[in-house]
Each structure stands twice: as C-alpha cells, then as structure tokens.
Amino acid sequence: MVRSKVVPDNDKKELSEILKISGETINDCMQCGKCTAGCPATGGMDILPHQIIRDLQLGQVKKVIESKTIWSCASCFACASRCPRNVDLARLIEAARLLIVRKKGSDRLKPETVSELMEDKKMPQQAVVSAFRKYNK
C-alpha cells in the first residue's frame, strides 16, 4: 500500500508559496520537539512550534495561517539554533505572515507612505525600512 498526502489545490499553492518565500525544506524535520522545548513564547501559542511544521508537512496550511501561533512567535531563532536538521521554523512562520499580508492588497506599504511614517519620531527607522522591504511586493 502506498501512502499519499491529499492536499487541496488552493492549499498546495499556499504551501508552495510559503516554502518558496522561506527557502526551507519541511520534510527534513524529524519531529524531535527541540524547537518547542526551546521556544520562550509557547505560552501564547495555540499550536506548538513542532506542530506547525507537522501541519505544513500534512498540507494543513489553513490551520497554520488561522492560528495565533504565527503572530505569537518572537522570531528569536531559538528554534532554528536548536534544530538538529537545520530547519528554520522562524523563517517558515515569517513566510506564513507574509503570505497573509500579501493577500490583503490594501495593507501593502507604498513608497509615498514611508515619508509619513518617518515623521513619527517614536517609529524606529529600522522598522520602517524592514516593513517596506517585506511588504511592498
């Protein structure tokens, strides 16, 4: 008997986009749980870090995108530094965030709005530049 994953077509597209943005190979993950053990933000997560990768492996992209875990991630890279297979979960989560933001066309940052953001003296310049780089596509 041959096992095969059944992934809906729209989820295949979203999964391939996440993998393309992140550059990660999720099939390298062996579900050891070291990413979850080292994560300082698990208290605010509804899906644990190793479960995020498993859900992506199973093609359950909608579950990942709708979770609050991707917004609770601190992007501290503790998961990536602990991974014995060098799977960078933080990059996968960032890719999922980007996928959501890019779907919302109105939330894109336009060049003409950057100068307005820079007028706010409390806004860190690095945040504006980083946001422009990520969200202008």
Domain boundary assignment for the chain: 9-103, 107-137
Quick: pLDDT tens for 4-40.
555 666 688 999 999 999 999 999 999 999 999 999 9
Give domain 9-103's CATH number out of 3.90.470.10, 1.10.1060.10, 3.20.20.150, 1.10.540.10. Answer: 1.10.1060.10
Q: Is residue 92 within 8 Å of 16, Cβ to Cβ?
A: no
Q: List all residues 6 or more positions away from 131 whose beta carbon is below 8 Å from its beta carbon.
A: 109
- Can you give the pTM of this predicted structure? 0.72
Q: List all residues 6 or more positions away from 69 whose beta carbon is below 8 Å from its beta carbon.
A: 45, 46, 47, 48, 49, 52, 93
pLDDT at 132: 66
Quick: pLDDT tens for 56-98.
999 999 999 999 899 888 888 999 999 999 999 999 999 998 8
pLDDT at 105: 61
pLDDT at 99: 87
